[in-house]
């Protein structure tokens, strides 16, 4: 029976070369696991991808339209998507900018925890400047990808948030 190296027409790696290869693999692994070698303070904004967004801005919540349920709406059997109770005729409810209706007692506590519609995830503004900056950065990245015809260099996704273009990445 032939040895592994004979079967695959290759030579065993010498110990020094094996050490260098392992070191390179460890470096690559560290980079792929969230850039562990970098100062964590430089990646604060990307943390929002992993966390619940902050509460909706108080001013945005106060501006939500108050709607009185019409007889037609009540006859359709419209329900609050949170508590699943049907809206009653002449009941006052809150309307999100996306036009979804909720009982005040259902949507207000929700918006006190996060800034989005529980159904479609449309976001209201927040009072958190860091999160608002994160949203702007994310929108700029989306526009940049759109201009490039999609995430054309997504294979370098680990470094992508740090650079504005592929050329800058490969300098």
66 shares a domain with 102: yes
CA 94 vs CA 81, 106, 108: distances in Å: 12, 9, 9
Residues 94 and 136 in one domain: no
What CATH number corresponds to the domain at position 92? 3.30.40.10
Domain ranges, residue 150: 128-171
Name the H helices within 33-128: 58-62, 71-75, 104-111
What pLDDT digit, counting tens, does each position of 152-170 carry?
444 454 444 555 555 555 5
Q: Determine contact, residues 91/98, Cβ cutoff 8 Å.
A: no
- Does some domain include residue 119? no
Residue 39 lies in a domain: no
22 lies in a domain? no
Dihedral sign for Cα atoms in the order 33, 35, 40, 44 = negative
Indicate whether 46 belongs to any domain. no
Q: For residue 171, tell me if it sits in a domain.
A: yes
Q: Mean pLDDT over all residues of the chain?
A: 80
Percent of the chain with pLDDT over 70: 75
63 and 105 part of one domain: yes
Residues of the chain with pLDDT > 90, as a percent, come to: 47
Q: Do 89 and 134 have their domain in common?
A: no
Residue 95's φ and ψ, nearest 5 degrees, are -110, 125
Domains in the chain, number? 2
Q: So what's the pLDDT on residue 159?
A: 46
Is 14 a member of any domain? Answer: no
Neighbours of 102 (CB within 10 A): 24
Return the DSSP state at 43.
G
Is residue 100 within 8 Å of 78, Cβ to Cβ?
no
128, two tokens? 């958190």
For the whole model, what pTM was predicted? 0.56
Instruction: Kindly report, residue by residue over 17-68, the tens digit of the pLDDT.
Output: 777 777 777 777 777 765 544 544 444 445 555 678 899 999 999 999 999 9
pLDDT at 52: 81
In a domain, 143, yes or no: yes
Give the bridge partners for 90, in sequence order: none
Specify whether the CB–CB gap between 53 and 133 falls below 8 A: no
Residue 67's DSSP bridge partners are: 93
Least confident of 13-17, 44-48, 65-69, 99-103: 44-48
Give yes or no: residues 107 and 63 share one domain.
yes
Residue 121 above 90 pLDDT? Answer: yes
Checking if the pLDDT of 120 tops 60, the result is yes
Is residue 6 assigned to a domain?
no
Contact 69, 91 (CB under 8 A): yes
- Dist. CA 134–CA 126, nearest whole Å: 12
């Amino acid at each position: 029976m032939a040895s592994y190296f004979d079967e695959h027409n290759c030579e065993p790696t010498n110990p020094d070369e094996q050490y260098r290869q392992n070191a390179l693999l460890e470096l690559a692994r560290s980079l792929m696991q969230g850039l562990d070698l970098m100062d964590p303070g430089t990646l604060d904004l990307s943390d929002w991808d992993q966390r619940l967004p902050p509460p909706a801005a108080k001013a945005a919540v106060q501006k939500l339209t108050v709607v009185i349920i019409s007889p037609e709406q009540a006859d359709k059997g419209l329900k609050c998507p949170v508590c699943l109770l049907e809206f009653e005729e002449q009941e006052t409810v809150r309307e999100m900018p996306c036009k979804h209706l909720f009982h005040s007692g259902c949507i207000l506590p929700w918006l006190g925890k996060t800034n989005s519609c529980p159904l479609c995830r449309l976001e209201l503004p927040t009072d958190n400047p860091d999160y608002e900056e994160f949203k702007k950065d994310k929108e700029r990245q989306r526009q940049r990808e759109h201009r490039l015809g999609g995430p054309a260099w997504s294979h370098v996704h680990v470094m992508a948030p740090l650079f504005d273009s592929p050329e800058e990445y490969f300098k």
